[in-house]
Amino acid sequence: MNKLQSLTITSFLLLISLPIFAQSDKRAISIEDYFKLKTVGSPQISPDGQWVAYTVSEKDLEKDKSETRIWMIPIEGGEAIPMTAKGYSASSPQWSPDGKYLSFIAAKGEEAKSQVWTLNRLGGEAVQLTDIKQGVSAYVWSPDNNRLLLMIKDPKPELLTEDKEDDKKPKPYVIDRLQFKRDYAGYLDRRRTHIYVYTPGDSTAVQITSGDYDDSSPAWSPDGKTIAFVSNRSDNPDGNSNSDIWIVSADNTDKGQSLLQVTTNPQEDHSPAWSPDGQNLTYVTVIAAPEVMWYATKHLATISAKGGQPDVLTSSLDRNVRSPKYSTDGQTIWFRLEDSGENQLASMAANGKNLKRTVAGGLSVGSFHINGSSIALLMSKPSLPTEVFLYRTNELKQLTSANTDLLSELQLSEAENIHFRSYDGTEIEGFIYKPIGFNPSVKYPTILRIHGGPVSQYAFSFRFDPQLYTAHGYLVIETNPRGSSGYGQDFSHVLFADWGNKDFEDVMAGVDYLIELGLADPDRLGVGGWSYGGILTNYVITQTDRFKGAVSGASEALYRANYGHDHYQRHWEIELGLPWENAEAWERISPFNKVANITTPTLWIGGALDWNVPILNSEQMYQAMKRLGRETQLVVYPKEHHSIRRPSFQKDRFERFLGWYEKYVK
């Protein structure tokens, strides 16, 4: 082909694509738009059923921080009203049962601890309700409106003294626990989180649980006399994944020495919710053997509040259940159901019959709140960031529009749901995003994005990353390979002790599928992901040289080096055995041992304080590639953990991702 022919064909292709842009005055999405997007959460319907309170989080790139405010909106629709002011973050909105107050958790001031605050519906400034020296992590109003239960962590010893200057001095970490560290929490000591009951106006809260155990997920009984909660009170809580549901009297005077153990399953039981008559509890349970670990399906169950034999309602439904709640009349249990790229709002009769997928399709339902016949829920779609919706009388209506103005400016890529066969015939699901101005006669540079987990899934929800890549001319494929949730326990459990095998085949089959369709340019392929997405990226680039550029975010590589360094020791031991006894299993699946195979230019990136997937791994892979003379770079964000939260670092990360792919893939 001569130069004139090339120019003619290029001009023709430009003419084809120009009308696509001319038909719309919308613009392509940019990195700056990420900081304009608002995150909506925590819907709560007022007792009178007239309002929905919710949170809106925004990122401030100039101030380099994020802030969350509480808003409310009429349940019939209308203008949203801000309830908390700018300048501090507020979370966990709840209505007092009489509807007079809207309460929340906030820490006002640089050194202040999180406390419960209240806003009078009639107007006025927020009033601090609690004054707990070490702060409050969660709270729930009692049904009679007179008390609150508070979740409070045991104080540090220095907080019990009056020497405030001494409080600021660094102290050594004294460690004697089997599980001795956790990302964000840091080194773990014997201070535990327990339940307290607080009566507004009192100077102190009354502790009603205690012991060398953490308590969580508290729920008042309808009569306000008892509290159900979740705790692992086995002989060695750090050595197993058990959790049970317990009940304690709200008037307990022995700090929880007298408890009723409701469930006795050696696996996980959690997320308890009371039936309206107070006779039963619904909850989430795992019935698989302990060695199935996080690959196990989470089921819906009910049990008498007195204990006894549970009734597992979804034993024949091999899909994960979350957040169960009884309907107001107690006849129905509502819950979130994960299934094949969807997160649905489902319901079932309390006797386990008549499963209904009430809000389903190409969408993802988040948290929800029930009041009578009204359900306020969070919902997202591939083209719609999360907003509050109202489900009532078989109708679904969008209430909030936090991102409507921004979306009206943007030309987004439509997510297309795909199904294809992996190399062994297994059906795999995924999503593709075509570049803005897509031309079917062009083969595009393509990015394979891999999700974290591994027990997670790409769902029908809004994701910024693929939209950003399509705005820069890339075709994007996201797959749910084996190990993913949403497709049953066996599909997920295939990955057990065999990482980088079937999941590698599945993601590669997705890329080949796009090449066969004539969409992807086989000579311009990129790959990347975060957490397990980074780990699987490591398996990809150590087993194939087909990718021209890779981004491995917060990944692991030399697994025995992580024993005692990350916070997954129990899981490692179940899946691979003890590293000094079964070294072969650990080394067999460690991507580091095949680092010499990597020819793909790779960007290694993560947080300096990440104890979930420590930066040690990225440092080792970077060092090895550098020693081998391969194209590579290491980026470490100071004071960041597994998720990069500082807005300026988030911006930097997007720029580096785009820059790396632009340099090596395009």
Cα–Cα dist 429/413, whole Å: 19
Q: What is the pLDDT of residues 144-167, one digit of tens each?
A: 999 999 999 999 886 666 666 776
User: Domain limits at 538?
Assistant: 412-664
Tally of CA atoms within 13 A in the half-sphere of 565 that contains its CB: 14
Q: Quick check: is 367 in a domain?
A: no
Pair 272, 418 in one domain = no
Residues of the chain below pLDDT 50? 1-23
Residue that finishes a domain, picked among 331, 361, 391: 361
CATH number at residue 607: 3.40.50.1820
Cα–Cα dist 219/595, whole Å: 50
Q: Quick check: is 357 in a domain?
A: yes
What DSSP element (H or E) covers 521?
strand 520-530
Q: Rg of the chain over CA atoms, in angstroms?
A: 26
Pair 356, 422 in one domain = no
CB atoms near residue 645 (< 10 Å): 15
Q: Quick check: is 318 in a domain?
A: yes
CA distances to 80, 207, 246 from 251, in Å: 40, 10, 15
CATH number at residue 352: 2.120.10.30
Pair 458, 566 in one domain = yes
CA distances to 420, 432, 469, 509, 541 from 516, in Å: 11, 14, 21, 10, 21
Dihedral sign from CA coordinates of 557, 560, 562, 568:
positive
Pair 496, 629 in one domain = yes
User: Looking at residue 622, what is its pLDDT?
Assistant: 98
Pair 320, 424 in one domain = no
Contact 293, 575 (CB under 8 A): yes
Pair 514, 585 in one domain = yes
Pair 520, 619 in one domain = yes
Cα–Cα dist 371/143, whole Å: 14
User: Looking at residue 48, what is its pLDDT?
Assistant: 97
Q: Quick check: is 15 in a domain?
A: no
Q: Quick check: is 241 in a domain?
A: no
DSSP assignment letter at 437: T
Pair 473, 564 in one domain = yes
Q: Quick check: is 221 in a domain?
A: no
Q: Quick check: is 52 in a domain?
A: no
Pair 356, 270 in one domain = yes
Pair 495, 624 in one domain = yes
Domain count, the chain: 2
Helix axes 502-516, 532-543, angle to 10 degrees: 70
Residue that finishes a domain, picked among 327, 361, 395: 361
Q: Quick check: is 535 in a domain?
A: yes
419: closest CA among 484, 344, 506? Answer: 506
Pair 510, 626 in one domain = yes
Pair 458, 355 in one domain = no
